[in-house]
Amino acid sequence: MRAADLSDDLERVLYTQEEVAGRIDEMAAAIDRDYKGRDPLLVGVLNGAVMTMADLCRAMTSHCQMDWMAVSSYGAGTKSSGVVRILKDLTTDIDGRDVLIVEDIIDTGLTLSYLVQNLRTRNPASLEIMAMFRKPEAAGSAVDVKYVGYDIPDEFVVGYGLDYAGRYRNLTDVATLRHEVYEA
């Protein structure tokens, strides 16, 4: 669905479907260049990164493989605590592989710093991060994100895989919600 279909729920569109698609193409081109001839393993973080992964890997012109992890981050409300539990682990042995984590959004960076620590113990040849969106707090964290789609303001956003209470993932544009939706 498009933002126009949800005009009662949305406050502001940050990026349209077309803008997101254009940015994905640019990022895929950079990743193609950097991983030329290396057959990287893209590790998507469920569920939010599904759209980013699907579009990114198809925009690439070189071979890659895909695997998925699901994690839950313990914490009160909408902020994560850094205590992360693996709900679904990789099925691929990443020893000696060039691994690129594909994430939807980084807020505090705590989830990703746990993931990076965990995956490093498995001896990948290289380990980098691609995140479609990054909030200001993440810029101050220790996590080094090689590929960032957009730096966004510190607001809760939905669409392109990002949800509020499980909804809006299938919104093709990226937007903030009206307060009435939270309060309802």
**Residues that are catalytic:** 107
Distance in angstroms (rounded) separating the CA atoms of residues 148 and 1: 25
Which of positions 82-111 make contact with ligand XMP (CB under 6 A)?
104-111
Give the distance, in angstroms, between the CA of residue 77 and the centroid of all CA atoms in the same chain: 20
109 near Mg ion, rule: CB under 5 A: no
Interacting span for Mg ion (CB under 5 A) from 29-37, 44-52, 93-101, 117-125 = 44-52
Which of positions 1-30 make contact with ligand XMP (CB under 6 A)?
none
Binding-site member from 1, 156, 167, 180 for ligand XMP (CB under 6 A): 156
Residue 109, contacted partner among ligand XMP, Mg ion, none, CB below 5-8 A by kind = ligand XMP
Distance in angstroms (rounded) separating the CA atoms of residues 127 and 98: 6
Nearer to ligand XMP, 52 or 80 (CB): 80
Beta-bridged to residue 86, according to DSSP, are 71
Interacting span for Mg ion (CB under 5 A) from 78-86, 100-108, 117-125, 144-152 = 100-108
128 near ligand XMP, rule: CB under 6 A: no
Binning the chain into helix, strand and coil, the percentages to the nearest 5 are: 30, 35, 40
- The answer to whether 104 and 159 are in contact (CB under 8 A) is no
**Residue 107 beta carbon to ligand XMP: minimum distance, rounded to whole angstroms:** 3
Distance in angstroms (rounded) separating the CA atoms of residues 28 and 31: 5
Helix (H, G, I), strand (E, B) or coil at 133: strand
Helix (H, G, I), strand (E, B) or coil at 30: helix
Distance in angstroms (rounded) separating the CA atoms of residues 181 and 8: 9
Helix (H, G, I), strand (E, B) or coil at 114: helix
**Residue 27 beta carbon to Mg ion: minimum distance, rounded to whole angstroms:** 17
48 near Mg ion, rule: CB under 5 A: yes
**Residue 37 beta carbon to ligand XMP: minimum distance, rounded to whole angstroms:** 31
Which residues contribute to the site for Mg ion (CB under 5 A)?
Answer: 48, 104
Binding site for ligand XMP (CB under 6 A): 48, 73, 80, 104-111, 156-158, 162-163
